[in-house]
Amino acid sequence: MADDGMLLNFSIPEAGLIEKVKFKGGKWKDRQTAKKSAEKWHNKATARLTGENPVSKKSTTNANHTEIGERKTTRQISPETWEAAKEHRGGERETKRARVDGEFKSSADFRPSSTVNATEGVKRTEERHGGPPPKQIISSLFTYNPTSITKELVKTDPKNETPVEPSNAPLDPKLETFTSLGISPALASHLLNKMDMKAPTAIQKAAVTQLLKEDSDAFIQAETGSGKTLAYLLPIVQRLMELSANMKKRKAEDGSGVHRDSGLFAIILAPTRELSKQIATVLDNILRCAHWLVAGTVIGGEKKKSEKARLRKGMNILVATPGRLADHLQHTEALDVSNVRWLVLDEGDRLMELGFEEEIQRIVGNLNLRMRATKNKIPGLPEKRTTVLCSATMKLDVERLGEISLKDAVHIRADPADKDRDAVNGEDRDQASFAPAQLKQTYAVVAPKLRLVSLVGFLKQAFRRKGSVMKAIVFISCADSVDFHFDLVTSRPEGEEVTSPKTETAEPEKKLEETSSETKPLEKKSKNSKVIQSDPTKLVVTHTESPILSPPTHTVTAYRLHGSLPQSLRTSTLAHFAKNKEASVLFATDVASRGLDLPNVDLVVEFDPAFARDDHLHRIGRTARAGRDGRACIFLMPGCEEGYVEILKNDRKDGESGVNIGRQDADEILKKGLQPAGQAIINGKKEYKTAYMDRATDLQLDFERWVLASPARLESARRAYQSHVRAYATHVAAERGYFDIKQLHLGHLAKAFALRERPSGMKVPGLRTGAGRESKSTRGKGGMPKDGHVNPNIPEEGAPGADEAAKMRKAVRSKEKFLRSAAADEFNLG
């Protein structure tokens, strides 16, 4: 056919060879699948006509993804793209903060911030790795976080704030002294010269005057840190000193007054072992001026044999926990309570919360029965027993305890004007207690993903200047979480293998230098090797240095305390923390929230909010005691938890509502705690906005890698996370609206425990993984499989590894036995 001179235009339009079809109808998934298939065919057809190589989006992204835990890494950059990036000199671009997977690096070795120029990022990475970067892990702490619903508070200048008069301080020594209350000059002089107590507090003035004047029962109600312990101890010691002096004047048969063989005259019941030990310590200090009076303790967790020996020797004042005292009343013949004339129930609300009602009924009934059966042989001894109930609140359970033990009791308060105020405001105010007026309270609104780094940043800022904070207490909801956070802050996330310093054990005079097994992966242990630190039955570390919280100028010592520790270790921990004169922090459950008078506690951090408002008041009462200043901060998550601020405002008396209650957010905490002291210079410009984000991300990745480096650490983190979630659901019904577990983001919360896996895929800690967990239907008698096959994960007797397996099974049984003996509940609280 001849050429007719006509030309055909085969140029490809920008839209492609064929117009894209819009898919309608059917399921959304089917439409998307058809759309992607058509687009793929369209791209291949267009590339064939133009002569270009088609680029598969899937091949450049998903093919290079690698599963790490429950996360995926970003795609590897091809050499062509890498060269193009090197030639790029344009503006800045937003990139996700990434961290190279591998061994721990110091903060200086981390990737540049997300705001730096792409060219600088290429240069630094190329210098470090000599080529394109390897696979990376993305850890986004500052994305998809819930927003706060509370407003920023207007910050006032501290210089313009009016000073607040302490509400629990001692009275003016010029107006009130212990001698004016009826205390003997010898005892008052001892309080002044040996115990440095110049004047009584308001509650001590009211209680001592009443208890010395009459033999009637009394209910003492006062805020925390006001000196309730001395309020009931001083009258008892004064009355016994008078009894001893009268016996000497009358020249009784013994002629020596009161001594340890004279019998038991007073019993003091406390809910916890720690509070019992503290009361006994205060009592021993008072009795140094009356050496003929002997005091002793019987508490749980100690050997009954040694306690029976002390009871046989004789004592005049006994400090005890209800369960152990009820046991001795039933089984110890040497315990004679026929002469007991003073019974004190300290922290009455806690006694009822812990379920000691039945034991207290038995104790009171036993005292009444033996007092009636025995005639009064000691001249001057009162015929009626005086019972004193102490509590910061007047709740229904306290009223029930009063009905059991009190008769025609006198209500003693620090401020008599409170009675008139309650009569005006109603009955509810009569049941309330308040925080000390001089206490400075703040609340921190922190998203779940930022909780861990924010806590570290908050404590680093608190201990940064030497002397700014002497001691701090961090309250956590459960024992497993206490162990995890203690191990975390006392480790070195950079990966350095360190040994913990000398630590006190169950025998305080004997110290062990032990390598923390939390810094090494699990391995086979010989007979002489140390047990792993994460085993709650073998916890021997009392205190150790915290390299994360310690600034360059001084060292911060970290402690831990919870109900699953052996009693000897709990006692030595509190004793060392109280005597320590350097910066230190105590991670504790509510075991440390009641009645403990720990000196120089300047800061209380409620990392996990208390389960009830009363527990919250007792927690913050560990600081700002006896008129001293103090600070308290509670961590709240954005959302419904922020409504708990109203509870904080109600902690104040009339006219003080909202005073000294400030607000912080996570950004402010991280800037102060993690921001470098100097000016961060990036690309020749001063950058302040995002430097703290980079450091926070680096720190979070350090923690996550530290957890993944050891199976023991990973199990500890999982256990802590699960115990925390279970404990979160145990808030009292009246406050459950603030702590709604249905609104808790479990995935975000997992990052607060340095976990990278999804909560749904998290395995239960403490159980063997793999094929070793057959159901009951597949197992025969004695736990053997019905099909006759032996579990490959359990070595046969005599085979290699059988000894280790036997030791592991023995350790699990001992752990279960320990938890049952310690009466730990399913959440391992306290």
The pLDDT of residue 109 is above 90: no
User: Could you count the other beta carbons within 10 Å of the beta carbon of residue 276?
Assistant: 23
The pLDDT of residue 756 is above 70: yes
- Please give the full DSSP string across 133-183, using - where no structure is assigned: ---EEE--SSSSPPPP-SPPPPPPPGGGSPPPPPSSPPPPTTT--TGGGT-
Query: Residue 153 has what pLDDT?
Result: 60
Query: Residue 751 has what pLDDT?
Result: 94
Which tokens is 27 given?
A: 């399921």
Residues 6+ apart with CB under 8 A from 657: 649, 650
User: Could you count the other beta carbons within 10 Å of the beta carbon of residue 673?
Assistant: 22
Q: Are 211 and 184 in contact (CB under 8 A)?
A: no
Residue among 568, 566, 562 nearest 586 (CA): 562
* Residue bearing the bigger pLDDT, 591 or 595: 591
User: Of 485-494, 505-514, 599-608, 802-811, which range is least confident?
Assistant: 505-514
Q: Are 725 and 739 in contact (CB under 8 A)?
A: no
Q: How far apart are the first and last CA of the chain?
A: 99
User: Could you count the other beta carbons within 10 Å of the beta carbon of residue 682?
Assistant: 16
Residue among 138, 130, 80 nearest 114 (CA): 138
Q: What tens digit of pLDDT does each residue of 141-176 get?
A: 888 899 888 776 655 555 545 566 777 677 777 778
* Residue bearing the bigger pLDDT, 591 or 766: 591
The pLDDT of residue 219 is above 60: yes
What is the rounded CA–CA span in Å between residue 470 and residue 551?
14
Cα 351 to chain centroid, rounded: 22
Residue among 168, 99, 103, 184 nearest 134 (CA): 99
The torsion defined by the Cα of 404, 410, 416 and 421, in degrees rounded to 10, comes to 50
Rounded to an integer, the average pLDDT of 481-486 is 94
Residue among 513, 523, 539 nearest 808 (CA): 523
Query: Residue 30 has what pLDDT?
Result: 84
Query: Residue 634 has what pLDDT?
Result: 95
Q: What tens digit of pLDDT does each residue of 552-585 get?
A: 899 999 999 998 888 888 888 999 999 999 999 9
User: Of 175-189, 417-431, 798-812, which range is least confident?
Assistant: 417-431
Apex 442 CA angle, 440 and 448, nearest 5: 155
Query: Residue 447 has what pLDDT?
Result: 95
Max intra-chain CA distance, the chain: 151
Q: What tens digit of pLDDT does each residue of 51-79 get?
A: 666 555 444 444 444 433 334 444 455 55
Which tokens is 641 given?
A: 């938890």
Q: What tens digit of pLDDT does each residue of 314-348 get?
A: 999 999 999 999 999 999 999 999 999 999 999 88
What is the rounded CA–CA span in Å between residue 598 and residue 823?
26
Q: Are 739 and 731 in contact (CB under 8 A)?
A: yes
Q: Is 434 left (phi over 0), alpha (psi -120 to 50) or beta?
A: beta
Query: Residue 514 has what pLDDT?
Result: 34
Residues 6+ apart with CB under 8 A from 124: 111, 112
Query: Residue 614 has what pLDDT?
Result: 84
User: Of 89-98, 120-129, 511-520, 561-570, which range is least confident?
Assistant: 511-520
Give all domains of the chain, ordered by start, each with its CATH number: 204-413 (3.40.50.300), 439-674+710-751 (3.40.50.300)
Give the model's confidence band at 383: pLDDT under 50 very low, under 70 low, under 90 confident, else very high: confident
Query: Residue 821 has what pLDDT?
Result: 43
Q: Are 274 and 592 in contact (CB under 8 A)?
A: yes
Query: Residue 4 has what pLDDT?
Result: 55
Query: Residue 689 has what pLDDT?
Result: 61
What is the rounded CA–CA span in Å between residue 293 and residue 257?
10
The pLDDT of residue 817 is above 60: no
* Residue bearing the bigger pLDDT, 725 or 380: 725
Q: What tens digit of pLDDT does each residue of 290-302 get?
A: 999 999 999 987 8
The pLDDT of residue 364 is above 90: yes
Could you identify the residue written with the tokens 């096959």?
A: 789
Q: Any bridge partners for residue 661, and if so which?
A: 441
Apex 239 CA angle, 236 and 241, nearest 5: 110
Cα 485 to chain centroid, rounded: 8
User: Of 100-114, 240-254, 687-701, 727-741, which range is least confident?
Assistant: 100-114
Query: Residue 462 has what pLDDT?
Result: 93
The pLDDT of residue 473 is above 70: yes
* Residue bearing the bigger pLDDT, 668 or 501: 668
Which tokens is 661 given?
A: 């209650």
Q: What tens digit of pLDDT does each residue of 404-447 get?
A: 888 889 999 876 555 544 433 344 434 456 777 788 899 999 99
The pLDDT of residue 722 is above 50: yes
The mean pLDDT value of the chain amounts to 74
Query: Residue 294 has what pLDDT?
Result: 94
